[in-house]
Every structure is written in C-alpha cells, then in structure tokens.
Structure 1
Amino acid sequence: MADFVIGTNTSPDAHAERRLDGPIHAERHMNIICVGAGASGLLMAYKLQKHFKNYTLAVYEKNPEVSGTWFENRYPGCACDVPSHNYTWSFEPKLDWSGVYASSKEIYAYFEAFTKKYHLKDYIKTEHQVVGAYWDNATSGYDVKIKDIKAGTEISHHCDILINASGILNNWRWPAIPGLDKYKGTLLHTANWDDSVDLSGKHVGLIGNGSSGIQVLPKIQPITSKVTTFIREPTWVSPVQGLEQHIYSEQEKREFANKPGVLTEYRKGIERGLNGQFGIFLRDTKPNNDTHDYMMAQMKEKLQNQYLEERLIPKWSVGCRRLTPGVGYLESLGKDNVEVVYGEINAVTEKGCLCDNGKEYPVDVLICATGFDTTFKPRFPLIGPNGQNLQDQWKEEAQSYLGMAADGFPNYLIFLGPNSPIGNGPVLSAIEAQADYMCKLIDRYQTRNIRTFSPKKAAITDFIAHKDRFMTKSVWADPCRSWYKNRPDGPITALWPGSTLHYIEALLELQIEDWAVEYSGNRFAWLGNGYSQTELDPTADWGYYIREVDDDRPLSTGGKRKLISKSGTMSSNVGIDFSGKKAAEKEQTPRKEERAYL
C-alpha cells in the first residue's frame, strides 16, 4: 500500500488542514526549481530522484548542454587541478581517466554520462536562463522568470523551494583594461573560447597567470611563432609532492576496471592525502613550511632564471592564492619563443598592450585568461519578502549560513555559496555534504506543515564572527590578490574556516535551532490523525522495534563519527593535532598517494 501523501494545488493553510486527515509525516507535494545543470545541479536532481517522491523538479540551464563550467571551458589545456579519480562523486567512480589531471572534455563526458545513466534530463530544460525570482507571500514561494533563449520569450514558473546551483566559476568577464574594444586583432577569452581560431604561427598575447593562463601557455607555446605573456603578480606554481601528472597505462586501467578494490583503495589514498593538506593553510605549521620549501625548490629548478625567480616566486605564504599544479608552465616561460612582460597593462591599443614600462607590445591574437565574477551575488535579481534584492545585500560582502543560505530569503538554498570549502580540499565531497544537508531540510519541510524556513540572522552573524576570527590564523589572510576575497586586505568570503573533512562533519546533523521556521496552522498539525505511516502499510513489520540484541546505531555525535569514519581500521595516516602545529607519523609509512601535502 502506498504511503499517504498530500496533493498539490492547495494553499499553505489548506496543507495544514489536510494533514489532519492523514498519518504522521504525510508527504506534501513540493514544486522545486534548481538553477543550473552543472555538477551541483545534477547531483541535486539525482538525490531528489533517489530519496523523494511527491515532488516536481525543473532544472533550468542556460547552456545547450549539461556540465556547467566543464561544457563552457574548452580552451587549450583546460583541465581540473584536482586528481581526476577524485573529481567524481564518491559513489560513482570512472574507470578510464587518461591521467591524474584530466582535460575539461573528459570531465564533461563524465557528467554527461552521469546524466544519461540516471535519466536526469527528464528534469532539465537547456537553453533556459533564470532571469529573476520574486517572493510571493500569499503562496510562500517564488515566482521565477525564465528566458527561453532559443525562442526569445520569457516564461514564469512558481516553486515552493528555489535552489541556486549556478556555481561561481561560470560568469566570465573581460578584464577592466581601457581600450579593450579598440583592439583590431583577434580577441579571445579562455571561458568563451572560439575553436575556429587557429593559433599556428601567430604572435599571441596572453593576459593572466591564474589557473587558466597557467594551463593555456604550455599548450599554445609549441604551435605559435611567439607568445608574449603579461604577468602582474607572482603565484605559487607546482604539482604537489606525490600528485605529479601521470598518464595511466592500459594495464593500470584494466586493473582499475577488473580487480576488485584496486581503484577504491587508490581513490581513498588520494583522498586521504587531499584531506591531510589542511595544515598547509595554517601559518607557521610544519606542513606549511615543508610545502613552502618544496615548492620554492621546484620553481627555482624549473625556471632557471633569476629575473623570473625574483618576480614570480611570491613573498606571501603558500596557499594564499589557490595552488596550481601548472604542468609544464614554468618550463614554457623559459622557451625561446616566450617573452615575459611583468607589470601592469595600462591600456590595450589597436595593435596590442601598452604596459607600465612605456612599451607597446603588438600581437596578432590577444587571449584574456582573466577569470570570472566571483562576488557570489546571484546572476539574477532575487527579491525576498521585504523587497530586498540579494544582489544588493551581498554587494559589499557576501555573508551566508554555512555556505548554503542567506538571511531574509526563505526557502532558498545555495550550492557553493560564500565560505564553502572550495579551496580547502576535494570540492565534490563538499558538494555532496551540502546536497545531503539540503535533503534533510527539504524532508523536514515536506513532512511537517512548514510554510517557510530561513537561517536566523543571529546565526549568520555568529558564524561570520567565528569565520573572521579563524581566518587570522590562516595563510589566506596574507596580502595577496585572490578571488578568495574582494581585496588583498579584505575579509575572506570564499573559504570555509576549516578542512573539507571538518565541513563534512559540521553538516552531518541538521542544526534546526539556527533556522527560523514558520508553520501553516498549528505547528503540530503534522501529527495528523493519530496513525503512523507504518500502520497503513500492510507489508511492514508493525513490531519492528522488538529485537534479540541492541543493534542500534550510535546516538552520540562521537559515536556516529567513529562509525562512518571506520575509526580503528587505519594504521597508515599521518596525524596532525587540532592546532595543526605537530605531525606524528604512525607505525607504517604512507603510500605515495597518501603523502600528498603531508
């Protein structure tokens, strides 16, 4: 017999009344809209499909295909700086990655295959861009405006819950350099790449030495007549010890595919290493000092140029900006057909770049590897109950609740919002933790007569105060220019105050006391007619709690953690105490994959 559910097309108050006719925890119908079909949006569609019923879901994606940034970014050398076997969902490995650092095309193919395997396109409308969301107090939901890009029309869709999975590295922008529109050569941006442009034999200018610029240079250097690369600041560039680039052999791929446990243990080894890196980001710790010395030596060895060493090796701590493997980048800077121009570009002319040294550098093609708008403001007007636009509220500083919600905007959830662990370790693990937390909140909404939920302002204020205090101990507070913060001396808005494992454990339990919850009708209407769902299911065991032994799962936080982390089963981790100031090796020596960052 099916569980009792509450139908759709009723007002919030009617939902509360209808509950009185049904059993406890009756599942109301939910209309959910998700913005974006990148990694986060695809995972949310998968989780909802797996764990829920009595809902409708629409995922609106502005691009013609899924995968978000991995569909958009197709520039030469585009790749992920996380080892490929660990840039997957924890439950969905890929057996045949080409190498440790996979190309954007391979990553796109992974998410496309994930979408097809679980039929997620049933929920997705591509070439539909959300252009506004407006709270309707009468219905306790959002009226969402969506532009049909192909038709050029606008439609409206109402939802009870709005999930923003549009990401932070997809809203590309031209650099704010005067005269960019006057340039008469071929102008390209790495995040809006034109595959029809042939760089062979051309003199190419490359602006930027962030992740995109670092990946582009080694790929275009061999085919161009000359590359003039414009660099305005230093950055730490080197694959970390134990995670250098490696191309997998056919034998390795066969073992991953056919030998039980081999791939899982390999992935776990890398993940342990990534999760063991957090000490790098704390000032004056052994991991930070050791990594500094290692990267300094690597950069000097690969540059072999005192002029470049003095300008490209930072004075600030390792990790203040995102660490970049930079496979082949430093070596490319020393090639005969590469010219490094260090300093500011004052203007772009018809021919090329006019720099602060007074020289003009003419180029045939100018590539801007200058990144994205990373301010965390929504890409569309989001209007809350009081008429406030979240774009304005987050104009100066974005402040969220644990990276997932905003003060004053009910029934609105965010993937990878402000102060998520996007640079602290493996990011897809953090996205999974966020999706699970959201599902717990959505389940509570569906099975109670909740009208609205939103984080309390006091909870956000306390979280930001804790975050700011913690960050004074981190390398991220060093005076480097980074998209982790709006200005070199500004508050760190992008990163979580702890490790990725710390974040995962922080999100294990729903901290409902931090949420302002408003109910429709009596807050206990969800108790219903006195029957349990179990009593309405003739196939269920109505005495399921009678047992021969106490086989309960742990009730305490510590007990749950020890169970899920398989405490006591490992003897090869390297441990760091809570302060991050000591490291003590256990009896066995870690594998190479596990030594990364330790």
Structure 2
Amino acid sequence: MADDLVPQRGPANNAAKRLAGPIHAERHVRIICIGAGASGLVLAYKLQRHFQNYTLQIYEKNTELSGTWWENKYPGCACDVPAHNYTWSFEPKLDWSAVYAGSGEIFNYFDGFARKHHLHQYVKTRHQVIGAQWNSEKGGYDVKATNLRDGSVVEDHCDILINASGILNNWRYPAIPGLENYKGVLLHTANWDNKVDLTGKHVGLIGNGSSGIQVLPTIQPIVSKCTTFIREPTWVSPVQGLEQHVFSDKEKLEFATKPGVLLDYRKNVERGLNGQFGLFLKGNNINEDTHKYFLSQMKEKLHNEYLESKLIPDFSVGCRRLTPGVGYLESLGKENVKVVYGEITRVTEKGCVCDDGNEYPVDVLICATGFDTSFKPRFPLINPEGKNLQDEWAKEPESYFGISAAEFPNYQFFLGPNCPIGNGPVLIAIEAQADYMLKFIDRWQTHNIKSFAPKKAAVRDFIAHKDHFMQQTVWADPCRSWYKAGSSANKITALWPGSTLHYMEALMELRLEDYDIEYEGNRFAWLGNGYSQTELDPTADWAYYIREADDDEPLSRGKRRKLLAKSGTVTSNAGVSFSGKDTAKSG
C-alpha cells in the first residue's frame, strides 16, 4: 500500500497524499549526487541497502568511477593510510600487496566495490555539473550538467543535492611567473601523461608534499638526474610500527582463510590510528615522543647536515599532513639527485630560476604542487535568496559540522570545511557523514518537510567553538598547510575540532534544533489518516511490544554508546601499537 502513496509534484498534491496515507508514509525522493568517488559510492550503497521509494542520479566527470584513485596515476602514487584500513568498515579486501598500496590497487578496490553492489546503474560518467539553482516553486534544485562527450547540456531536478566531488582532485599548476614559457615537457602529478618516458632524462621536480615525496624515489633509479626544488621543510617518516611492509603469500593466505586473523589485524591498526589524536595536541606526551622518533629517523636517513638544516622543521609534528615517505629521504642523498632549497622566482624556456640567482635547465618539469583546497563548489550554487555559495565562501568557508551550509537548503556535502580529513581514519568519517545525510533523507521522506538548512547562529557558534579549540593544537603552528588554505597564518578551515571517534559521536543523532526547517502545509500532516504503518503490513506482529522481559535498547546516550562501542570487551587500549599488535598481550 505504501507504493500507492507516491506523491505527485507540487505542495498541494503532496499534502493531500500525505493526509490520505498512514503515519510516516514514505514519499518519493529524488537525489542528485555530484561525483562517483569513494564518497559518492558509499552513499549509493547505503541508500540502496536501507531505502526504498527513491531515485538517485550521480553525475561523474571522469570516464570511470573511483574519483581521485582513477585520476592519479603518477609514478609512486599511493595512499598514506595502511591499506587494510583504507577500506569501508564492512568491506575488507583480503589481498592488499603491502601496508601502503599503490593507486592502481586502490582503484580496483573501489571499482570492484561498485561492480559487486551494482552501483554503476546510478552513474552517468563524463557528465560535469555546471550549475544548480533553488526552485522556490517545486522546492529542491534545478541542476545543469554538461555531457563531456558531445558538449550538450542536461537539465535535471532533485529534492536533495549532495556534493561528493572531494577536495583533493581539483588540480592546479603553481602560480610561478613564466611557467607557460617552458619549452620542455611539463607535467602535473594529478594530470599525468603515461606516454612520457622519463628514462635517461634530466627531470625537475617541484614540491615536497605527499605527491612529490612519492614521485622522487620512484623515478630516481631511471632518470639521468633529478633536480628537486624544495621551498620549505616537512616531517617525513612512517609512524613507528607502520613502516612499509610487503605482505607475504603466507600472510595473505592467513588473512583469507583463518577466521578472525584479518579482523584482528584491522581492528588493532584502527585502534592505533584512533589512538594518535594526542599527537595533534600541544604538549601531549604522544606528540613529544613522536617528535623525538621522527627527528631521529630523518637524521638517520638524510645523514647530511645541510639537508637536515633545511628539511627538518621547527614546527610541531602534525602541523602539516604527515606522510610515511617510503624511500624519499634516502633518495635525496643519491648521486643523481640535486636538492635546490628556496623559492622559484620564474620559469624560463629551459627550466627554473631560483632565488639563489641560478637557472636550472631540465628536460621534463614535474609539478607536484597539489590542489585547489578552497572548499568552494566548482559550479555556481544559488540559494532561494539568489546568493552563490562560491561567493559566500570566497574569504572563509564556514560549514555546519563539515556537512552543510547556512542558507543553502537541502544541500549536503562530503568532506566539507572542518571535517576530520586529517584527524585519524578518514573512510569511517565518510561513512558517518553518509549515515547522517541518510537520516535527513529519511526525515524528509517521512515528514512533510520542504526545506532544511543549518541556522546561521548554529554555524556561527560551531565556528567559534572550532576556533577556540584549534588554539591548543599543533595545526595552529606557523607552518604553511592546506589545512589553513595554503597559508601559515589563516584560520584552520580543513579539520574537525576533535578526533575521528569524537566526530562519529557528534554525528550519531540529528540536532534538529540547529536547523531551519520549512514544511509543506501543516507540520503535522505526516500523522496522516490515523493508521500506523504496522496495521497496513499483514505480515507484521500487531502485538510486537508484548514480551516476557524488557529487551529494549538503552534510552540514554551513555548506555547506547557503551553498547555500540562494545565497552568492556577490550582489556585495555593503552598497549596497542600501530603495528596492529597488542603489546599489552605480546609483551
């Protein structure tokens, strides 16, 4: 009978249908999602698993799914998170090759996830969203997307718009004067040309962020010479216990065939990752111990007083995103690698001129210079008052919990400003965001809500709390970081004021008091015709509440949290190391 309650378009028809149906009748919802990377795929999976009476359209600009892991193919491209924990919490992969897996393996994981769960059915590839505008008559957004195959423009409409386009895939060349004059081969790590053969070439490498750190040790053995241009120090070392390790056939066989072995490994690594949050707090023992370890590791691997003086930072460990840097520091000391420290003042036809006054000619110039991390949407997003979120976020992006924006109704996004992108495990944070969005979608479906958006006052209070919290963190140190929009002094706009576990608890329930909600007609129309959903289900037990004992789930937050977190099942987390071994037991 619920299928007969699908409303027609228009507030009047919606209200009439809702009054004629039972309480919590699920009206049809149309969702548009931008991007079929990891976030878009997990949204599709969860929507498919938990919901009915919906349509989902995902627009993806690339020819394949998996987002950044399809786009990034540069030499040495890998994830800086242990592979067995760079998976969905419910979807392990048995045969990762190593602790830090390459981008090809990661692409295969997400592509395989999409194929296993038939998620391609929701995706239109080679379609790039170019604009979205609130439709005051219908509610929801009118969306335009360009079909990149033929240039035509597709017009669509949705009740709820979700942006899953990510923050680390909008690549850009560095703003160095004269870059367009360079006559050699110019490459960007995020727009790699696999047809270019670097063998025997003199290569210039700009940047020592994550991409540059992965590229150098991969190309060093094959190039005639590499001149790497570095303008600032950075901490480079795997966290103790999570060094690179290639899994043996025996280990992979045990992961695949011995019950509980892989689960125990994943859990212990995850406990270690969650246990590192103290590293980001000033004066914390974990931070001080990690600082000593990183310092000793960098000195041991560089073994060069000049490089040590230039590359080892004065700022705290964790101020910039940490990278394991497998083989990077060792590569800097190779005979065919020259380190040029300082600013590139301009690029000539032959190569780079630096602030030391010298010109460094190169055959190939690789820009490992990152992405636009401004958080602004890449298309005009117009709200009911005609405001464009691109303009609203031009100076400082301000979100509600990294997931929604004040005055922009029915619009949600993954990995928005001040979410835990660098606070601990990131994929479980994405899962928590997807769950939160789906709770709002459920609310929209089962109530006569027209629009929902966080209140300006709620966003203002959240930002004030975040700014106060950040003062005690290492992220506030004077280091240049994309956490602070590429500056050393800006506000911290990329990170959550707490740990990943803290974020998950914050998103467990909808705080509707923080939202402006507009209804279609009487807000209690969802009560319907007086019938419950149970009475309309002939297979349901109409006396389900009659029991022999009280087996209800806890009503208090504290007891629910203990039940969810399996409190009491672990002797102590204090002895868990990053290696995935419980040192309290093995020591």
Per the normalisation by structure 1, the TM-score is: 0.96
Aligned residue for 1:534? 534
Relative to structure 1, the CA distance from residue 154 to residue 4 in structure 2 (aligned partners, 3 Å threshold; closer, same or farther) is closer
Per-residue deviation at 1:16?
1.6
**2: CA distance, partners of 1:434 / 1:570:** 27
Give the distance between the partners of 1:140 and 1:90, measured in 2 at CA: 35
Letter in 1 for 2:354: C
1:558 is aligned to 2:558:
yes
The CA distance in 1 between the partners of 2:578 and 2:56, in whole Å, is 44
Distance 1:469 1:544, change over 3 A: same
Residues 132 and 382 in structure 2, CA contact (< 8 A), matched pair in contact too = yes
Within-5 A mapping of 1:432-471: 432-471=431-470
Deviation, 1:8, is 4.5
Q: Following the alignment from structure 1 to structure 2, what is the Cα–Cα distance between the partners of residues 490 and 91?
A: 38
2:15 alignment partner in structure 1: 16
For residues 450 and 386 of structure 2, what CA distance do their matches in structure 1 show? Answer: 19
Inter-partner Cα distance in structure 1 for 2:222 and 2:39: 36
Distance 1:15 1:594 in 2: 56
SS in 2 for 1:420: coil
2:475 counterpart of 1:476: yes
Supply the distance in 2 between the matched residues of 1:238 and 1:406 (Cα, whole angstroms): 37
How many residue pairs are counted as aligned between the two chains?
Answer: 582
Letter in 2 for 1:593: G
Q: Measure how far apart 1:594 and its partner are.
A: 5.4
CA distance in 1 between counterparts of 2:204 and 2:409 reads: 47
- Provide structure 1 residue ranges, at least 5 long, that are not aligned to the other structure: 575-584
Q: Which residue of 2 aligns with 1:356?
A: 355
**1:151 CA displacement:** 1.2
Q: CA deviation at 1:490?
A: 1.0
Q: Tell me which residue corresponds to 1:517.
A: 517
Distance in 2 (CA, whole Å) between partners of 1:333 and 1:591 is 27
SS at match of 2:120: helix
Name the counterpart of 1:270: 269
- Tell me, yes or no, if the aligned pair for 1:32 and 1:58 is still in contact at 8 Å: yes
**What residue is the counterpart of 1:161 in the other structure?**
160
- The Cα shift of 1:314 comes to 0.3
Deviation at 1:6, TM superposition (A): 3.0
Q: 1:269-305 deviations in whole A, cap 9, x for unaligned? A: 0000000000000001100000000000000000000
Change (3 A) 1:386 1:591: closer
Tell me whether 1:593 sits opposite 2:580 in the alignment. Answer: yes
**2:570 matched to which residue of 1?**
570
Counterpart for residue 66 of structure 1? 65
Residues 408-448 of structure 1 show CA distances to partners (whole Å, capped at 9, x for unaligned) of: 10000000000010000110000000000111111000000
8 Å contact 1:241–1:595 — kept in the other structure?
Answer: no
Matches of 1:368 and 1:415 in 2, distance apart?
A: 27
Amino acid in structure 2 at the alignment position of 1:560: R
Contact 2:204-2:226 within 8 A present in 1 as well: yes
Equivalent residue, structure 2, for 1:431: 430
Paired letter, 2:196: V
Q: How does 1:200-349 map to 2 (within 5 A)?
A: 200-349=199-348
Whether 2:50 is the aligned partner of 1:51: answer yes
In structure 1, the residue corresponding to 2:580 is in which secondary structure?
helix
Is the partner of 2:272 in helix, strand or coil? helix
Offset, 1:14: 2.0
The answer (yes or no) to whether the contact 2:9–2:138 under 8 Å persists in 1 is: no
**SS of match in other structure, 1:212:** helix
Which secondary structure state, in structure 2, belongs to the residue aligned with residue 60 of structure 1? strand
Q: What do the CA deviations read for 1:310-356 (whole angstroms, capped 9, x no partner)?
A: 01000000000000000000000000000000000000000000000
Q: How much does 1:9 deviate?
A: 3.5
- Specify the alignment match of 2:501 in structure 1: 501
For residues 499 and 467 of structure 1, the distance between their equivalents in structure 2, rounded to whole angstroms, comes to: 13
- Amino acid in structure 2 at the alignment position of 1:458: A
- Cα separation, 2, equivalents of 1:252 and 1:403: 38
Asked if 1:367 corresponds to 2:354, the answer is no
Contact 1:6–1:26 (Cα < 8 Å) also in 2: yes
CA distance in 2, matches of 1:572, 1:555: 27
Per the alignment, residue 102 of structure 2 pairs with 103
User: d(CA) in 2 for partners of 1:501 and 1:274?
Assistant: 10
Cα deviation digits, residues 59-82 of structure 1 (max 9, x gap)? 000000000000000000000000
Aligned to 1:547: 547
Deviation at 1:463, TM superposition (A): 0.3
Structure 2 unaligned segments of length 5 or more: list them.
none
> Structure 1: how far apart are the matches of 2:170 and 2:8?
36
Q: Match for residue 489 of structure 1? A: 489
Per-residue CA deviation, residues 365-385 of structure 1 (Å, 9 max, x unaligned), is: 000000000000001110111
Q: Distance in 1 between the 2:170 and 2:436 partners?
A: 26
Change beyond 3 A, Cα 1:494–1:594: farther
8 Å contact kept, 2:139–2:450: yes
Cα deviations by residue, 1:155-189 (Å, 9 ceiling, x for unpaired): 10010000000000010000000000000000000
Alpha-carbon shift at residue 13 of structure 1 (Å): 3.2
Distance 1:553 1:53 in 2: 25
Task: Write the distance in 1 (CA, Å) between the matches of 2:17 and 2:497.
Answer: 44
Check the 8 A contact 1:190/1:212 in 2, yes or no. Answer: yes
Post-superposition offset of 1:12: 2.5
In structure 2, what is the Cα distance between the partners aligned to 1:590 and 1:80?
20
1:198: which partner in 2? 197
Counterpart-to-counterpart distance in 2, 1:409 and 1:206: 41
Offset from partner CA, 1:350-405 (integer Å, 9 cap, x none): 00000000000000000000000000000111011111000000000000000000
Give the 3 Å change call, closer, same or farther, for CA 5–441 of structure 1 in structure 2: farther
Which digits, 9 at most, give the CA deviation of each residue in 1:127-169, with x for residues without a partner? Answer: 0000000111001110000000001110100100000000000
Structure 1 position 96, deviation (Å): 0.3
Q: Secondary structure at the match of 2:482?
A: coil
CA distance in 2, matches of 1:13, 1:362: 70
Displacement after TM superposition at 1:3 (Å)? 3.2
Residues 186-224 of structure 1, C-alpha deviations (whole Å, 9 max, x = no match) = 000000000000000000000000000000000000000
**Does the CA contact (< 8 Å) of 1:167 and 1:415 recur in 2?**
yes
In structure 2, the CA distance between the partners of 1:522 and 1:80, relative to structure 1 (3 Å rule), is: same
Distance 1:4 1:148, change over 3 A: closer
Amino acid at match of 1:556: S
Contact preservation (8 Å) 1:274, 1:425: yes
Q: State yes or no: 1:412 paired with 2:444.
A: no
User: How far apart in 1 are the matches of 2:400 and 2:245?
Assistant: 39
TM-score by length of 2: 0.98
Residue 572 of structure 1: how far off its partner (Å): 3.3
Change (3 A) 1:196 1:290: same
Amino acid at match of 1:541: D
CA distance in 1, matches of 2:581, 2:351: 46
Q: Identity percentage over the alignment?
A: 71
- Contact kept in structure 2, 1:5 and 1:29, CA below 8 Å: no
Change (3 A) 1:8 1:124: farther
Q: Which amino acid aligns with 2:95?
A: D
